[in-house]
Amino acid sequence: MNAPHTFMLPAFQLRQLTLQAGKRYLLDKIDAELPRGQFTAIVGPNGAGKSTLLKLLGGLLTGQQGQILLDGIPLNTINQSDRARKLGWLGQFPPNELPLNLANYVLLGRRPSLGSFGRASSDDLARVNEALVSVELHTRSTSPWRNLSGGERQRAGLARLLTQDAPIWLLDEPTNHLDLKHQALLFRRLRTEVAKGRTIVAVLHDLTQAARWADHVLLLGNGRLLAQGEPTSCLESVSLSQAYQWPVRLWQSQEGCWQVAVGEVA
């Protein structure tokens, strides 16, 4: 549960956030607020700074200038164990080799609650099983990690997040390796979690998915924040074409389906 004094604060506040690599700005003076209890999609072309921004939010990178506030507190003042209880992370590339079976990998999600030497309780194991059922992997629970496909590993990462039960999830291209069915199930699950009060921030490449599923969007281009807010106001042709440096148009059909056209602006 959120403390009363943090309930109305944005989950994250970014103030002049800047990161350079040599002379190149990976992120340039980003000012943004990521709302609590909503699904924020970070979109933009390759090299725009999307994954870099997500890593900064997770404390995996440190900006050279500016500040990130998590629940109103500077992120760099929050110790690692407290961060692990607040933030759940799912990267875009699951590890290739792990000396674990599937269930033991998912059990790693309980580590922030167990501590370094804690032993899993029956409740912890029940959470693992429930999470595996929810991602349709319960029949593979004893399978060695090396025997899982890329899509199964990605779904295992989601199960690990469910067992961790952090109030904020950070997802870097979570649809990687997933087939169409499991992409749809993923987004339905994310909406279910948001309905329960969880905050989700995800890097997405597919603009139609961002428009359909997200509540809030950050549009990046060349390390700069070009637009933020509701998808319908942010993902308009002028901003998209500026971000991608190419004509891009996104619209909703009469049937309610989102569509994108590249190379033409009508």
175-232 tens-digit pLDDT = 999 999 999 999 999 999 999 999 999 999 999 999 999 999 999 999 999 999 999 9
Q: Is residue 127 part of a domain?
A: no
pLDDT reported for residue 264: 65
pLDDT given at position 95: 83
Domain annotation covers residue 150: no
Q: Give pLDDT tens digits for 2-45.
A: 444 455 799 999 999 999 998 899 999 999 999 999 999 999 99
pLDDT digit string, tens, across residues 160-181: 999 999 999 999 999 999 999 9
184 backbone dihedrals φ, ψ, rounded to 5°: -60, -45
Q: How far apart are CA 6 and CA 46, in angstroms?
A: 34
Asked, for residue 131, whether it belongs to a domain, the answer is no
DSSP-assigned beta bridge partners for residue 84: none
Q: Answer whether residue 155 is part of any domain.
A: no
Question: Which CATH number characterizes residue 223's domain?
Answer: 3.40.50.300
- pLDDT for 3: 45
pTM score, whole prediction: 0.93
Tell whether 141 is covered by a domain.
no
Residues spanned by the domain of 254: 12-99+166-262
The answer as to whether 46 is a domain residue is yes
Cα separation, 175 vs 194, in Å, equals 18
- The pLDDT value given to residue 1: 40
Q: Assign 262 a pLDDT band (cuts: 50, 70, 90).
A: very high
Q: How many domains does the chain have?
A: 1
Query: Cβ-count burial of 68 within 10 angstroms (0-12 exposed, 13-18 middle, 19+ buried)?
Result: buried
The overall average pLDDT reported for the chain is 92
pLDDT score for 93: 85
CA–CA gap between residue 128 and residue 15 (Å, rounded): 38
HSE-CB of 24 using CA atoms within 13 angstroms: 7
- Predicted pLDDT of residue 5: 46
% pLDDT > 70, the chain: 95
pLDDT attached to residue 186: 97
Give CA 214 to chain center in angstroms. Answer: 11
Average pLDDT over residues 68-73: 96
Angle at 154 between CA 149 and CA 160, to 5 degrees: 125
Angle at CA of residue 98, ends 96 and 103, nearest 5°: 115
| Spatial distance between the Cα atoms of 148 and 143, rounded to a whole number of angstroms | 7
Poorest-pLDDT segment among 28-42, 71-85, 91-105, 111-125:
111-125
Check: CB of residue 203 under 8 Å from CB of residue 42. Answer: yes
Residue 134 lies in a domain: no
Rg (CA), the chain: 19
